[in-house]
Amino acid sequence: MPTGVYVRTEWHREINRKGHQGQKGIWKGKKLSKAHKEKLRKAHKGKKQSKECIEKRVKSRKGYRHSEETRKKLGRKGRKLKGRVWNKGKRQPQTTGKKNPNWKGGISDFNKKIRGLNEYSQWRTKVFERDRWTCQTCHKRGYVEAHHIILFNSIILKNKIRTVNQALKCSELWDIDNGVTLCKECHSLTKEGGFYDTSNVYERGRDYCYQE
């Protein structure tokens, strides 16, 4: 029997196509087992497509248009949603919790628990009262927020706080000298990679607030 690699011509492809025409695929209606899925996942883990492969795929889709039937189906689907996002409010287990690449040990939910404590409300009120409900940067009054000069998350990570009881015992977390009153606009600047300068702005604002 001849051996080697044979290049299929258009005639061969046409014969194969006609031979399989009308036949159902062997995998149609079947589902892969968990063990099989895990095996495929491990086999593909860490592999990346080459630039040539990506370019080839992009070129193959360039200029592609959905058929009239497909466009009608998409239109009906869009009208049913009425501008709503299909996955809004739905949990995505494949990217939730520890499976998310931004996972930091579950501190987000834990932070919410601490911020919901009565002690946190008291700390915030004490900071507001001391600063006379005035932003310490731009001196605006009205809606204000309490900002941790040493960041809230940094204190939790530095003191290795894992439970609510540990948080209640941490004096640094409830130190009002580590808090400052800011308006929403000034507070947002600290969340965009900036920090609160305690050497000049903080002191200038404190003197301004307490002048009679």
10 lies in some domain? no
Counting residues of the chain whose pLDDT is more than 70, the rounded percentage is 80
121 lies in some domain? yes
112 lies in some domain? yes
Tally the domains of the chain: 1
Provide long-range contacts, Cβ within 8 A and 24+ apart, for 35-42: none
* CA angle, residues 201, 172, 142, in degrees to nearest 5: 45
Lowest mean pLDDT among 106-115, 133-142, 187-196: 187-196
46 lies in some domain? no
The distance of Cα 41 from the centroid of its chain, to the nearest Å, equals 23
160 lies in some domain? yes
Is the confidence at residue 197, as pLDDT, over 70? no
**pTM of this structure:** 0.45
54 lies in some domain? no
The whole-angstrom separation of Cα 124 and Cα 140 is 18
Of 175, 126, 173, 170, residue with least CA distance to 153: 173
Q: Which domain holds residue 182?
A: 107-210
127 lies in some domain? yes
